[in-house]
Chain A
Amino acid sequence: MAETTTHDAHVSSTGLSNVKLGMWLFLGSECLLFGGLISTYMLYRGRVSDGPTPEQIYDIPFTSVSSFVLLMSSLTMVLAVSAAQKKDDRGVNLWLTTTALLGATFVGGQVYEFTAFYNEGLGFSTSLFGSSFYTLTGFHGVHVTVGIIMLLALVAINKRSSVPGSKSETVEMIGLYWHFVDIVWIIIFTLVYLIPV
């Protein structure tokens, strides 16, 4: 990251910066976290007790739209990273805010979906399907929420900064995290919603 500040110009044995390498390792670890949660869901999705079945409550068109919104947020995240590399702080703030809004739309959709499911009789304790569904999608929702907080915090910090482009690596790191969370959603959407039990 030679283009950042003088004292960040460190030499690393791999050529990757410490932060970037660390972020990749963290995301590798996260794969196993979601792997465990997805396995649990796949094992239990057919065990509905007296509660509703997945087919009865899933609203595929609605979730498709919110998934599309989340995927579009990856596009705006790329635009933010691109602006950061051009040291265009106004562009960075614009696209980061847009990404956060799209993410918030997705989370809002999830809150709506949870409420609807609950009203249709699927509580956290209703069945193994309920417990594992809310846990898996809830963990993903929390990841998106953490991402939104990071995006907005970065916008706030960026506005105080006097050096253009000083946060470009941070933008890139949050971008990595954001894309990862999106990719996980693609897998969840496919396995949870699209493939029938």
Chain B
Amino acid sequence: MAIIERPTPVLDIPALPAAPPAITPSRTFGALKRPVASTGWKSWLFTVDHKKIGLMYGATALFFFIVGGLEAVLIRLQLAAPEGKVLNADLYNQMFTMHATTMVFLFVMPMAAGFANYFIPLQIGARDVAFPRINAFGFWCFLGGGIVINLAWFLGGAADGGWFMYAPNSGPVFSPSNGIDFWALGLQIAGIASLTGAINLIVTVLNMRAPGMSLMKMPVFTWLVTVVQFLLLFAIPVITVALFLLTFQRSFGAQFFDVAAGADPLLWQHLFWIFGHPEVYVLILPSFGIVSEVLPVFSRKPLFGYPFVVFSGAAIGFVGWGVWAHHMFASGLGPVSVAVFSVATMAIAVPTGVKIINWTLTMWGGKLVFSTAMKFAVGLILLFTIGGLSGVTHSVAPSDTQQTDTYYIVAHFHYVLFGGSVFGLFAGFYYWWPKMFGKLLNERLGSLNFWFMVIGMNLTFGPMHILGLQGQPRRMYQWTEARAGEGFFNIAFWNLVASIGSLVLAVGILFFLINIVVTTRSKVRAPLDPWNARSLEWMTSNPPKEHNFDSIPKVEHLDEFFHRKYEEDPVTHTMREVATAEQVLAELERNADPHIHMPSPSYWPLVLAVGLPVIALGVIYSTTVAIVGGFIVLYAIYGWALEPATAVASDFDTPSTNGHAVSTTHG
């Protein structure tokens, strides 16, 4: 599979001797001509540019974040007072199932994928990912999956078995609507996005680094996201199996989780958590990567103990496979299993603790600049540590048995997921916004955004520790005054506090949305290097040109960009500025590559991805529709494969002399 290459018109390079050759569409296996538009809606629909795909991931994920957030607010409104009437029991089940599903699969994962897509090629000095068309296909699969999962709201009710979808509640007897069918098939499609994305990004990172960038000179964000891709590579097929078994049971009469037929209900739990626990690290490691970029920049110091951060990240990637059964301590696994998983769970706290020490010591003695990005990064350190500590209490199996299925668990995972993952992503928004859009997000609104989120999140999830230890179970759609208890620990008061907190949190998010609007309307351009940053993604214009770098930089240091701007004074041993960011960039432009071949847009990824939801609907409603979907997929695969493999010779002036200029040819 290769992509036709054409010289892109690189008009802003003065070194180009002649006008770039005109781009003409070539014939392809299909009804439409090969798309070549570089502006307008078609340039987004058919794009294979990793930056555009990254932005589309981000925008879609942000939309789902708002959807999932509204679901959360509805849940809290229902629980604010005794015998809540906002939702009925059935709708409440759908609400918490879809809240979790949306936040995990349709917000945090794709948002991290968006950042990874946008910044990994920039951070390693590449012009695109290894397989640009597969990259586009991944985004459309994610979007299609998200749509299929949410379609169920309008077609008889959404999934209602919890995001973990335990048997037998997932069976047709206990969930007769089509919600779980949509859920399983939608996640299957979204899983294709994760799997193809994982292969794509691993190959990109391993194969397409700029000359001189050894693995131990890669930025930490790239490193940790690479660990995440390995987790996805091996975890996604396991959930794929589980979802297939579930679909076969619900749609084709298989018996996998039918206890009456002798099935073992623990099979689903094992398959789900073998995926589900690595998934936890899939959610948090990208945010760890982001704060590992943000903290050094705003502490004016290199990251403390870079190899430790990298290797502890890799260690999490390995040990993360050996702890899944701590989600199942209450299921009667037997003492040996429980002991083993208990100890492994305690062990995995160590590499996480290593990171927290590294971040803290990065700040130690630094010239701290409390920009909004920095505030969110510091917020992550504090809040994640709280969540991490309550997490360690779960590793003690006897204690966990008491906490299982109570709000204590809810408190724990919201501290690590909201206080950790989401705060990290917000640090990323504020840090990288000028890189992506050429404008700085408003710091004053950012400050409001941050403080409302911190206060709101602690008001919402802090009291849940108390609620849980008082015994309030998860997933109960009502609680009663009579059993609320008395005194300081009565759950009526703390439920109300949590609900008020969720509204404060919502206001915080609203400030972020307002900030986006204000910033977009603002005419003020961001400076080239607004944060005095350290890594390669800043060594290009804001936003980057389509080909990212005019010439591929030769990397000599970790934090290459910083070392081009600063040198150590041999006498005083302090760093002094030797070049501005503008000068570094001008240097790259002077050596601009004469031939830059970027992959051409293609509409096959979109066509292929459209076929999959059609098959999914067909599985639920009618075989004919599924067959039609199958033909769309087959047609698209052939179209994709038959797209001209190599460009005709006349498309190139002379053979390229720079190997890296053509290293993006395979798709």
Contact = CB atoms under 8 A, between A and B. Distances in A.
A40 B245 contact: yes
A72 to B, nearest CB: 27
B255 A131 contact: yes
Contact of A7 (B213, B237, B665): B665
Interface residues of A, number: 42
Contacts of A119: none
Contact of B130 (A5, A8, A11, A22): A22
B245 A153 contact: no
B256 A14 contact: no
B248 A19 contact: no
Interface in A132-173: 132, 135, 153, 157, 166
Contact of B254 (A5, A8, A35, A125): A125
Contacts of B652: 7
A25 B256 contact: no
Given A8-B665, A29-B233, A13 B206 contact: yes
A125 B251 CA distance: 11
B11 interface: no
A21 B131 CA distance: 12
Contacts of A121: none
Interface stretch (B175-183, B197-205, B305-313): B197-205
B549 to A, nearest CB: 16
Contact of A25 (B203, B245, B252, B646): B203
Contacts of A124: 248, 252-254
Contacts of B208: 12-13, 18
B624 interface: no
Nearest to B655: A6
Given A8-B665, A10-B659, A25-B202, A131 B207 contact: no
B665 A10 contact: yes
B634 to A, nearest CB: 9
A166 B645 CA distance: 10
A93 to B, nearest CB: 17
Given A7-B652, A11-B660, A21 B206 contact: yes
B663 A28 contact: no
Contacts of A183: none
Contacts of A108: none
Interface string B206-228: 11110001000000000000000
B647 interface: yes
Contact of A18 (B207, B252, B253): B207
Contacts of A37: 241
Given A28-B233, A29-B237, A131 B256 contact: yes
A51 to B, nearest CB: 11
Contacts of B2: 8
A131 B195 contact: no
A128 B256 contact: yes
B662 A7 contact: yes
Contacts of A36: 237-238, 240-242, 271
Nearest to B210: A13
Interface in B589-632: 597
| Interface SS majority for chain B | helix
B241 to A, nearest CB: 3
Given A26-B199, A49-B262, A131-B248, A13 B209 contact: yes
A16 interface: yes
Interface string A25-64: 1101111110111001001100101000000000000000
B484 to A, nearest CB: 44
A9 interface: yes
Interface in B1-56: 1-2, 5
A128 B5 CA distance: 52
B253 A127 contact: no
Given A5-B646, A33-B237, A153-B638, A14 B206 contact: yes
A127 B153 CA distance: 34
A38 B198 CA distance: 24
Contacts of A31: 237
B264 interface: yes
User: Which of B131, B236, B262, B597 has the most chain A CB atoms inside 10 A of its CB?
Assistant: B262
B659 A22 contact: no
A17 interface: yes
A28 to B, nearest CB: 6
Given A8-B665, A18-B207, A22-B131, A125 B241 contact: no
Contacts of A30: 237
B199 A29 contact: yes
A19 B202 contact: no
Contacts of A22: 130-131, 199-200, 203
B17 to A, nearest CB: 21
Given A32-B234, A43-B267, A135-B248, A25 B660 contact: no
Contacts of A40: 241, 245, 256, 267, 271
B28 to A, nearest CB: 14
A16 to B, nearest CB: 7
Given A7-B646, A125-B254, A18 B203 contact: yes
A170 to B, nearest CB: 8
B261 interface: yes
Nearest to A32: B237
A124 B5 CA distance: 49
Interface in B288-305: none
A169 B239 CA distance: 31
Nearest to B271: A36
A153 B263 CA distance: 41
Rank and list the top 10 A-B pairs by shortest CB-CB distance, nearest first.
Answer: A36-B241, A11-B659, A33-B237, A131-B254, A125-B253, A12-B207, A32-B237, A10-B663, A18-B130, A18-B666
Given A22-B203, A135-B248, A157-B641, 13 more contacts: A5-B646, A7-B5, A9-B662, A14-B207, A17-B666, A21-B206, A31-B237, A33-B237, A33-B241, A44-B256, A125-B252, A128-B256, A157-B642
7 contacts: A7-B655, A12-B207, A13-B209, A14-B207, A17-B666, A29-B195, A32-B235
